[in-house]
Amino acid sequence: MPEHEVMNDGVELSGVINRREAVRRVTALLGGIAFVGGTSLLTACERERPAGAAATSIGEFTTDDIALLDEIAETILPETSTPGAKAAQTGAFMALMVTDTYDAKDQQIFRAGMRTLDERSTQANQVAFMQATPQQRLALLETLDKEAKTHMDARNAARDAAAKRTPAKDDTAKADTATPERFLPSPRQEASPGADAGAATAITADTPTHYFRMMKELAMLGYFTSEIGCKQAQRYVESPGRFDPCATYAPGEKAWAPHA
């Protein structure tokens, strides 16, 4: 297993086969919800990262933005006996994926989330995230991680409830011809005060992904598909190689990382 301590709800990433498989596994690790970016993310994952990406702007992301993303990713995947996310230029990867694979709405949510994260750091620690100590950064991201999980759980529940409420096509047709008046709203219910109280702030099936969920999934995907993530955080042997079906494994050893 990788030696890094990852904020992953008690589950560790077990190794990757290739970048498409990494997407599938990190999706499962984060609760089974499809990645923001969908199939575009898969396509972009297979392109080479631009040389020197960490030192240049990417899309609307400035060098300061990329530095902030590096520190966020490093807090999630810190340096231990192997290099952390910052050494793998994960911030540049995150910026590239948002630029290339997110639609305009999700890009806006992600970038607004970066500002919100910085504001939360200032509220909690009286300093911006980049000036906070490693302990302060970790405490903040653990709080945001819990908030993101609550947010995503509520959205999933709302989507499940909406799916159960949706009538079958045949049932809808029968209802429309048999008793159409039962679908008409009650005027008294419409006019009653507070009938929809809280609807504007409630989490619904259409509520977008939490911004920290986006950051976390891209940080993990970027790191575990990088050369450092494959060759140093995991054990890597170039293929093709000798077929050995009975390789020994001792508990606590790094996972094998087949070539990507």
Task: Give pLDDT, residue 3.
Answer: 46
Exposure class string for 5-18: b at 16+ Cβ within 10 A, else e: ebbbeeeebebbee
Neighbours of 133 (CB within 10 A): 10
Task: Give pLDDT, residue 237.
Answer: 72
Q: Is residue 71 part of a domain?
A: yes
pLDDT at 168 over 70: no
Write the burial class of residue 243 (CB in 10 Å: 0-12 exposed, 13-18 middle, 19+ buried). exposed
% of the chain surpassing 90 pLDDT: 40
CA angle at 96 for the pair 48 and 128, rounded to the nearest 5°: 135
Residue given tokens 């993530």 in the structure block: 229
Task: Give pLDDT, residue 75.
Answer: 96
Whole-number Å distance between alpha carbons of 41 and 109:
17
Answer for the pair 26, 221: CB distance below 8 angstroms, yes or no. yes
Task: Give pLDDT, residue 5.
Answer: 46
The model's confidence at residue 11, banded by pLDDT at 50, 70 and 90, is very low
Q: Is residue 193 part of a domain?
A: no
Is residue 2 reached through a cis peptide bond, with omega within 30 degrees of 0 on the bond before it?
no
- Which residues, in sequence order, are bridge partners of residue 61? 58
Give me the mean pLDDT over the 211-225 stretch.
Answer: 92
pLDDT at 101 over 60: yes
Q: Higher confidence at residue 30 or residue 186?
A: 30
Whole-number Å distance between alpha carbons of 213 and 149:
8
Q: Is residue 50 part of a domain?
A: no
% of the chain surpassing 70 pLDDT: 61
Task: Give pLDDT, residue 12.
Answer: 40
Q: Is residue 231 part of a domain?
A: yes
Range of the domain at 124: 1-45+60-153+209-237+249-260
Whole-number Å distance between alpha carbons of 175 and 259:
57
Q: Higher confidence at residue 257 or residue 158?
A: 158
Q: Is residue 78 part of a domain?
A: yes
Task: Give pLDDT, residue 138.
Answer: 97
**pTM attached to this predicted model:** 0.66
Number of domains in the chain: 1
pLDDT at 162 over 50: yes
Q: Is residue 169 part of a domain?
A: no
Which of 139-148, 161-170, 245-254 shows the highest mean pLDDT? 139-148
Render pLDDT for 14-60 as a digit per residue (tens, 0 to 9): 333 455 555 555 555 555 555 665 555 555 555 555 555 445 789 89
pLDDT averaged over the chain?
A: 75
Q: Higher confidence at residue 82 or residue 241?
A: 82
**Which distant-in-sequence residues (6+ apart) come within 8 Å of 246 by Cβ?**
none
Name all contacts of 35-43 with Cβ < 8 Å and 24+ positions apart: 35/217, 35/221, 36/101, 36/102, 36/106, 36/209, 36/213, 36/214, 36/217, 37/97, 37/101, 37/102, 37/106, 38/101, 40/100, 40/101, 41/97, 41/101, 43/101
Q: Is residue 51 part of a domain?
A: no
Give me the mean pLDDT over the 156-177 stretch.
Answer: 71
pLDDT at 181 over 50: no
Give me the mean pLDDT over the 63-67 stretch.
Answer: 96
Give the DSSP H or E segment for 86.
none
Q: How many residues does the chain have?
A: 260
Q: Is residue 99 part of a domain?
A: yes
Q: Higher confidence at residue 235 or residue 73?
A: 73
Neighbours of 135 (CB within 10 A): 9
Q: Higher confidence at residue 225 or residue 61?
A: 61
